[in-house]
Structure 1
Amino acid sequence: MNVPEKLADKLAARLPLIGDRVDRSPVVAVVRLHGVITPTPSPVSRGSISLNTVESALAKAFGHDRLLAVALAINSPGGSPTQSALVGERIRELAAKKNVPVLAFCEDVAASGGYWLACAADEIYAHRTSMVGSIGVITAGFGLTGLLERFGVERRVYTAGEHKHRLDPFSPVKEEDVAWLKGLQGELHTQFTDWVKQRRGDKLADDPDLFTGEVWTGARALELGLVDGLGSLREIVGQKYPEAEISVAEPRKPLLARLGIAGGGASVFGTAGDKVLSAIDAVEQRAAWSRFGL
């Protein structure tokens, strides 16, 4: 027997037989949902959430071969109602397909769309100091009436369709446009409320302020039935699944980010206009966080 064969025999002797292998520990897969919820992330923002940005992480988490449960680590001030709904529905779809429980953990803030995401879980937990709730709808913008005239600029707008030109920031506010907007907000608010009631059921307290857009600490949210308990992700997972490993499912990075180009390339190849728009987006996203002192 030559030397390579002897080494191979020694190695084989040390390896356990397939039938003798010790079962590997089950896994609780963690998906981070951090940032403003928007379909158009800014390369200079603090992160963003959309179905596109979290799909790969969700697929990894729910596709684990030793999956015991999925934990959502949520830190979001909200954002797009549509993206909130799409991500929430995708989580429920995967949970039903894999037949595993989903736990949500509210970190600094899970408000508005952030709480919409939390309601995709079977159980919701928060830190006693977390900001939770804001079950409502908000629309913000700027009124720039007179700005163009000040610089001698004449704006010309041509439309086909009676209501094509609504809520123009360079034109005076029209009451009929505001009424139309409030109608949309009311419809979205109803959908949000129905989702929370569907997911939380009789856990919710009978409180008249529950769906007013108010925000509460995690401790108060527990009293109102918006969350099921207080504690951190590792603390609660350790209590509920002491035998499990915690595995973070990272999203797939864009190609340019994987090549080490920051911001996915927008800051490198974008036009000056793109950079200005990105800066405006970043300011708006920063404002969303600042509402909660973050």
Structure 2
Amino acid sequence: MASNRGSRVFLWVALAGGAFFLFVAAIFVLVYVSVRADDHAQFTGFGDRIAVVDLEGVIVDPKSVVAQLKKYGDDSSIKAIILHINSPGGGAAASEEIYREVRRVRDEKHKRIVASIETVGASGAYYVASATNKIYANEASIVGSIGVIAEWYNYADLLKWAKLKEITMKAGEFKDTGSPTRDMTPAEKAYMQALIDDMHSQFIHNVATGRKVKDEDIRPIADGRVWTGRQALPMKLIDQIADFQATVADTAKSVGISGEPTLVTPERERKSLLDLMFGDVSDLIPDRAKLMQTNVGFYYLWK
């Protein structure tokens, strides 16, 4: 009797385990087929394709966006590129790198590239947008913030309270400028301000170059302020009030595409079976954008 009962328990466990395995396998197959179908759909059609590159969130690492721009810029079957922007900007050097690639696509590859600003296209993101052939934005989009910011935390008082003392050895007066453990000297403040002013002048000049106007046209409004899309239009910071769909239609028309174009987007990130079963664990990983304030850095960032 005990043996028969044990066999039945084992049988039920085996059946339950097999059913669970088949269930998981079915989910995996369905997701895989769906993703493959989406990827295939992205690349159907020839000669009537427009690529869409997303620029979202704080600009920290330019590699992905630059690689996409280069790929689509060099693809002769792509008739135009739409840079879909929803970003407050980010690192000065990272924004500059994307700006340069946009200019390369526009001026060297002679491929039409436009910007469609969704909710926010400010500071470094506007810097990037200024290099395109045309900037579209919604009436309520946030645009502008031409300025440079550098900020970090100073915990000198906390160290004093905890009776801790930092020891720094250096060669060069300005080597530890911006140390969070002490106040800056007047000379250090002047040194940092000179760096910020130089980056600001670069920002102004490159926006003016991208927009094909003079530096003097940009300088009066390069005080860090933002405007709505409706306010930005008469200031010539944008070219047209339009949502994303209107941007697609106008861009297609400008490159001679009749009818609805095929939109090409980068391949989506592959999800593993563990991701599907247990969800996204990316929130457990420190966000580099959140860590920026702990270091001395220079940012084209609207806050």
Q: What TM-score range do you get, normalising by the shorter chain?
A: 0.7 to 0.9
Cα separation, 1, equivalents of 2:218 and 2:106: 30
Percent same amino acid among aligned pairs?
A: 29
Taking structure 2 as the reference length, what is the TM-score of the superposition? 0.71
Could you say which residue in structure 1 is the equivalent of 2:123?
112
Which residue identity lines up with residue 243 of structure 1 in the other structure? Answer: G
What is the aligned counterpart of 1:73 among 76, 84, 103?
A: 84
How big is the shift at 1:193? 0.5
Contact in 1 for aligned 2:116/2:247 (Cα 8 Å): no
Could you say which residue in structure 2 is the equivalent of 1:245?
261
What is the aligned counterpart of 1:172 among 163, 174, 183?
A: 183
Change in Cα spacing, 1:166 to 1:282, as seen in structure 2 (3 Å) is: closer
How big is the shift at 1:125? 0.7
Change in Cα spacing, 1:172 to 1:103, as seen in structure 2 (3 Å) is: same
Instruction: Map 1:21-170; keep pairs closer than 5 Å.
Output: 24=46, 26-39=48-61, 50=62, 52-170=63-181
Cα displacement string for residues 48-94 of structure 1 (whole angstroms, at most 9, x for unaligned residues): xx1x1223322343244422111100111111111111111112223
Cα separation, 2, equivalents of 1:266 and 1:68: 40
Which residue identity lines up with residue 50 of structure 2 in the other structure? Answer: V
Which residue identity lines up with residue 175 of structure 2 in the other structure? Answer: K
Cα separation, 2, equivalents of 1:91 and 1:224: 22
Contact in 2 for aligned 1:148/1:154 (Cα 8 Å): yes
Contact in 1 for aligned 2:208/2:217 (Cα 8 Å): no
Change in Cα spacing, 1:260 to 1:185, as seen in structure 2 (3 Å) is: farther
Change in Cα spacing, 1:107 to 1:260, as seen in structure 2 (3 Å) is: farther
Could you say which residue in structure 1 is the equivalent of 2:28?
none
How big is the shift at 1:236? 2.4
SS in 2 for 1:68: strand
Which residue identity lines up with residue 61 of structure 1 in the other structure? Answer: Y
Cα separation, 2, equivalents of 1:72 and 1:213: 23
**Stretches of structure 1 lacking an aligned partner (at least 5 in a row):** 1-22, 40-49, 268-274
Which residue identity lines up with residue 164 of structure 2 in the other structure? Answer: V
Could you say which residue in structure 2 is the equivalent of 1:213?
224
SS in 2 for 1:224: coil
Choose 1 or 2 for highest CA Rg.
2
Cα displacement string for residues 119-170 of structure 1 (whole angstroms, at most 9, x for unaligned residues): 1201011000000001111111122122112123221111122211112111
How big is the shift at 1:279? 8.8
Contact in 2 for aligned 1:203/1:226 (Cα 8 Å): no
**Stretches of structure 2 lacking an aligned partner (at least 5 in a row):** 1-44, 253-257
How big is the shift at 1:204? 9.4
RMSD: 3.1
Contact in 1 for aligned 2:47/2:77 (Cα 8 Å): yes
Contact in 2 for aligned 1:58/1:249 (Cα 8 Å): no
Which residue identity lines up with residue 215 of structure 1 in the other structure? Answer: V
